[in-house]
Amino acid sequence: MNMWIRKSAMQGCAMVMLLGVLAGCSGGPSEETETNKVESSGKGAESGTKYTVSWVSGQSAPVDEDAEMVAYWEEQLDVDLDVWNIESTNYSEVLNLRFASEEIPDRMVVLGFANLKKYADQDIIAEIPLEMLKEHAPNVYAKTVEAFPDTFNYTKIDGKLYGIPAINYYSRFRSPIVWRGDWLRNVGIEKTPETLEEFETALYKLRNDDPNRSGKKDTYGISDSALNLVYGAFGYLPDRWAEKDGKLVYGAVQPEMKDALKLLNQWYKDGVIDPEFVTGENKGGYWALSHAFINGRIGLTSQGVYYHWKPLLFEGDGASHNYLELQKLDPEAADALVHGTPPAGRDGAMGVAQGNPMSGKVIAFGKHLEKQPEKLAKILEMIETISATSYNNYLTAMYGKKGKHWDFDENNVPVLLNNLQSQDLERMGANNVMESLELPEYTAQRTAIISDWAENQQYGIGGMTNKLQAPLASEGRYLTELEKIREEAYISFITGDRPIDEFDAFVKSWRSSGGEQLEKEANEWWESVK
């Protein structure tokens, strides 16, 4: 069996695509220089034992047997590392098979809070005494809490801490809103649409006024990704939990969504929505690509992440996947892209999906370490040294040795040297292998040029996060069926296959099929962390 891993599609992309600014890890054990010396946490488990630490994260390429960075960190941290090669596409599945064979690593990445709860219930992962975490990984704890005060509540189960949450620093920016600027000009629109009425006017023109100058009626306003812009203008997103009157409510069943669906149904009847919206904008390959937009079928998209649409900001910048694909076909269109804000509804409501600080990834430890507190302390110190003691250590874990694998460019951006790619880094024991935590202080320094661009394009405005950030006890029983009920109903309401007057019947069906129980559990959790 091939046991090495590529991360799940979305997470792998988000980490690797910003190579040079947002990606990877690497390093090298060659001769020491001041630049590449590890700065220790200064703590010590004081056991006198040189531990062998089994370490599993999941990667897109297997680690070499004599991996340079593994050797580097073994020397600097005074441990022997047993890196498990698990390919990330099937990470959780393969990890579960290892667990079934009673193979439990010392340190592991857990994907999702549902898995964290499951592993805790199955006695696979260890409780982390909070005082031990504060003593042996003080900066990891303090810097995380300083930026996101309630973070560690999300990895507690029955009041006990079971993991170190990995922060998604980039979550402070919402989903992209990108217009074909050349099309807007061609139909006489000079001001970027800001209200729902302005959006509607623009989308009808993009459908009816020949924006591509083809002489044919062969364009549409939007496809599936921009539907959330309309829902947000009515106050909710269908697949997210929001706070309403002090309680958590599920967006899809709120009465405001009936009006949103009525509007979308009218747009669909009028040909403004691409009739192929059900199959999505991406037709294969890299997940964030909007082929419908790139190939000139639609004029507005919210596909992918904000940095997929940015122009190239520095030499070696390869994160701009959609921009680059459009540039190949139509350079003028790529350079004319317009980045907008979510449309404001009649009552001022607005918003589009924004990630949460909680990435869903959690650093956890094998249950056996509850009986080996000195080893657990040592591993916490390792994580502290790699991620939280210095910017130098952080970059070394991400990219390797300065001057050999990466260096700063004229903008003080770390860029890879010698045409290194993310898989090259992982083979030598970097990138997702050592997996530095993305603590805000260092990540902000590393990604400043892209963050500044995003701020200037107003990507910090109009995001809606999911207020529920923990697994619910009954999700495994109900969630799959509830998502199917929601998705089928919403598509049918938009296409007109089901009259909008049946919205209340849909809500009743959703609640009776387990939604009411999830609402109860969501609010029990909400009360516990508020």
Domain holding 124: CATH number?
Answer: 3.40.190.10
Identify the DSSP state of 511: I
pLDDT given for residue 219 in this prediction: 98
Count of domains for the chain: 3
Same domain for 242 and 94: no
pLDDT at site 38: 65
**pLDDT digits 0-9 by tens, 33-67:** 344 556 666 565 656 789 999 999 988 889 999 99
Burial bucket for residue 101 (CB in 10 Å: 0-12, 13-18, 19+): exposed
In this structure, the answer to whether residues 145 and 16 fall within a common structural domain is yes
What's residue 431's pLDDT? 86
Q: Are residues 217 and 348 in the same domain?
A: yes
Strand stretches in 45-190, DSSP E: 52-56, 80-83, 107-111, 156-157, 160-161, 164-167, 178-179
What distance, in Å, lies between the first and last C-alpha atoms of the chain?
45
Tokens describing residue 277: 């919206």
**pLDDT at residue number 29:** 30
409 occurs within a structural domain: no
Dist. CA 212–CA 231, nearest whole Å? 28
- Chunked mean pLDDT (size 10), the chain, 530 residues: 32 38 35 50 67 92 93 96 90 94 96 88 97 97 86 86 87 93 98 98 98 98 98 97 97 98 98 97 92 98 95 81 96 97 94 83 96 97 94 92 92 87 90 80 85 94 89 87 98 98 98 98 85
Q: Record the tokens describing residue 364, joined without a space.
A: 């956890």
Domain boundary among 303, 326, 353: 353
Distance of CA 283 to the CA centre of its chain: 21
pLDDT for 32: 36
Q: In this structure, what are the phi and psi dihedrals at residue 300, rounded to the nearest 5 degrees?
A: -145, 135
pLDDT of residue 37: 58
- Whether residue 523 sits in one domain with residue 377: no
Asked if the structure places residue 252 within a domain, the reply is yes
Q: Do 162 and 272 lie in a common domain? A: no
Rounded to whole angstroms, the Cα distance separating 122 from 206 reads 54
E-only strand ranges, 310-387: 338-339, 352-353, 358-365
- Whether residue 145 sits in one domain with residue 185: no
Domain boundary among 435, 465, 499: 435
Is residue 376 a part of any domain in this protein? yes
What is the C-alpha separation between 356 and 80, in angstroms, rounded?
35
> CA-to-CA distance for 466 and 111, rounded, in angstroms?
17
DSSP 137: S
Q: Which secondary-structure segment (H or E) carries 249?
A: strand 247-250
User: Is 239 in the same domain as 371?
Assistant: no
Residue 200 sits at φ, ψ, to 5 deg, of: -60, -45
| Dist CA 110 CA 451 (whole Å) | 28
Instruction: Report yes or no on whether pTM surpasses 0.85.
Output: no
Q: Label the pairing between strands 178-179 and 338-339.
A: antiparallel
Does 197 share its domain with 161?
no
Please state the φ and ψ torsions of residue 55, each to the nearest 5 degrees. -135, 120
Pair 344, 362 in one domain: no
pLDDT of residue 43: 60
Mean pLDDT, the chain, integer? 89
Within a domain: 282: yes
d(CA 429, CA 398): 10
How much is the pLDDT for 44? 59
| Structural domain includes residue 158 | yes
224/333 same-domain check: yes
Q: Could you give phi then psi for residue 265, rounded to 5 degrees?
A: -60, -40
Bridge partners for 54 per DSSP: 82
Please check whether residue 226 lies inside any domain of the structure. yes
Does one domain contain both 346 and 364?
no
pLDDT of residue 352: 96
* 116: its two tokens: 């964290």
Contact between 24 and 15 (Cβ < 8 Å)? yes
Residue ranges of E strands in 125-176: 156-157, 160-161, 164-167
Domain match, 368 and 300 both: no
Name the DSSP letter for residue 501: G
Indicate if the alpha-carbon torsion angle 430, 133, 360, 14 is positive or negative.
Answer: negative
User: Does residue 135 belong to any structural domain of this protein?
Assistant: yes
Give strand pairing partners of 298.
Answer: 220
CB-based contact 211:183 (threshold 8 Å): yes
Pick from 304, 323, 353: which residue ends a domain? Answer: 353
Question: Domain span at residue 318?
Answer: 178-353
The CA–CA distances, whole Å, from 524 to 89, 153, 290 equal 34, 14, 39
Q: Is residue 40 part of a domain?
A: no
Place of tokens 């499951």: 118
